Structure 1
Amino acid sequence: MRRSLSYLILPGWRGSPEEHWQSHWQRCLPNAARVEQEDWERPEPSNWIAALDKAVGALQTPAILVAHSLGCITVARWAAQATRPLLERVRGALLVAPADVERPTCHELLRGFAPIVREPLPFPSLVVASDNDPAASAPRALQLAQDWGAHATLLSGVGHINVDSGHHQWEQGFAHLYRLQRQIERLERRCL
């Protein structure tokens, strides 16, 4: 992209430890910052949305959101209620392994994020999901992508795309980020 970009990293429940790909990306990507939550263990939707609101408000450059799991659900909730000036600071969102907080097996601490906001996101988005993710079935992840107006990529056998499923640096994930960035560039050229 011609203009300088920021990357806002949004981890899911319990945050992303040092060996998680989001932590690696935060160290590698220029102008990357993490949306910190007061309580990673007992997530409260209003607090998580407020933290994202504050982080976007502090941006000096346009940003791409890089969310994982519960972070994806937070992005959808935030986008449905954020002000237009804040939404305009976000160029797009990479939504990796969104957590289905409506599934019967969802942990009790995450159920406060239900119901999942199903409104189309007001910026280009790409959902990257797995066909064997315990946090969301493949059909559910694809339905969320459709509801959010996002492009979708379904990977085979990669679990929840986290440390437990062997995704530490997840260099392959950069291809999805670059694909999203190319999509954003095409849209911006069309608007010129």
Structure 2
Amino acid sequence: MNRFGLSGDARQPVVLTIPGLNNSGPGHWQTLWEEQRGDCQRVDLGSWASPNRNAWVNRLDAAIREVNGPIILAAHSLGCLAVAWWGALQSQAYGWPVTGALLVAPPDCDRMETPETIGGFGPVPRTPLPFPTILVASRNDPYIFFERAHSIGKNWGSSFVDAGHSGHINAESGLAEWGFGQALLDQLVDRAEGQVQAVRQMRPSMPTPHHDRRPAASGARP
């Protein structure tokens, strides 16, 4: 077992949930997924009320390093920007160890009216992310215009999903466990499982690619 309480089985994808500003409360779909699914665990980014981009990216990186096997990121709101900056600043090979990400309701940190609490996450990265992504946007999200969300998704190389009029796609949206979102997540899980199986068939005697990425951080599992 790793510190996330998951098995660390390199064949099974681990889903790291990444909340946004002020964390995700008890009625949020991220929280419900963590309670109901056996593959989800939250990344503690710290300083939830006063986020710092570099600190969040470093904490996300530390969490990713601790997982032995394929990783899927399920981010909401400002957590999407943490994922985007991690992808822009790190040099992972495409699709490993992060095999995919579900990016839900990213805010636009480039708007003039962006609150100072999240302004430090701008400018929004414009480079394609080094893993497949699904970006989900709402048509009445108060933190980003729908067309802008589509543009960000295009820059990141994401598959774009229209969530209709769902507000900020959070607890206030009344989504409960958000079955539609889970179906999107399961698409990424299935893809990751197929990728691992293909790697094992091609290189059965080789160690999992995760350990070839870079040296383990001090105190991390060998």
Query: 1:176 corresponds to which residue?
Result: 184
Q: Distance in 1 between matches of 2:71 and 2:37?
A: 12
Q: Distance in 1 between matches of 2:49 and 2:173?
A: 20
Letter matched to residue 143 of structure 2: A
Q: Distance in 1 between matches of 2:85 and 2:50?
A: 17
Letter matched to residue 127 of structure 1: L
Query: 2:118 corresponds to which residue?
Result: 110
Q: Contact between 2:136 and 2:160, CA under 8 Å: does it hold in 1?
A: yes
TM-score w.r.t. structure 1 length? Answer: 0.91
Deviation at 1:147? 0.3
Q: Which runs of 5+ in 2 are unaligned?
A: 1-9, 203-222
Letter matched to residue 9 of structure 1: T
Q: Distance in 1 between matches of 2:66 and 2:94?
A: 10
The answer on 1:94 being equivalent to 2:102 is yes
The answer on 1:138 being equivalent to 2:146 is yes
Q: Distance in 2 between matches of 1:87 and 1:109?
A: 31
Q: Distance in 2 between matches of 1:56 and 1:85?
A: 14
Q: In the TM superposition, what are the counterparts of 1:6-21 in structure 2 within 5 Å? A: 6-21=14-29
SS of residue matched to 1:113: coil
Q: Distance in 2 between matches of 1:76 and 1:27?
A: 26
Q: Contact between 2:13 and 2:193, CA under 8 Å: does it hold in 1?
A: no
Alignment size in residue pairs: 191
Change in CA separation of 1:165 and 1:31 when aligned onto 2, cut-off 3 Å? closer
The answer on 1:76 being equivalent to 2:91 is no
Which of 156, 165, 182 lines up with 1:157 in the alignment? Answer: 165
Query: 1:63 corresponds to which residue?
Result: 71
Query: 2:134 corresponds to which residue?
Result: 126
Q: Contact between 1:70 and 1:98, CA under 8 Å: does it hold in 2?
A: yes
Q: Contact between 2:11 and 2:193, CA under 8 Å: does it hold in 1?
A: no
Letter matched to residue 65 of structure 1: L
Deviation at 1:87? 6.9
Q: Contact between 1:7 and 1:31, CA under 8 Å: does it hold in 2?
A: yes
TM-score w.r.t. structure 2 length? Answer: 0.79
Letter matched to residue 17 of structure 2: I
Report percent identity of matched pairs. Answer: 38
Q: Distance in 1 between matches of 2:121 and 2:135?
A: 18
Q: Contact between 2:72 and 2:188, CA under 8 Å: does it hold in 1?
A: no
> Which of the two has higher C-alpha Rg?
2
Q: Which runs of 5+ in 1 are unaligned?
A: none
Deviation per CA, 1:42-64: give whole Å up to 9, x if none: 00001000110000011122110
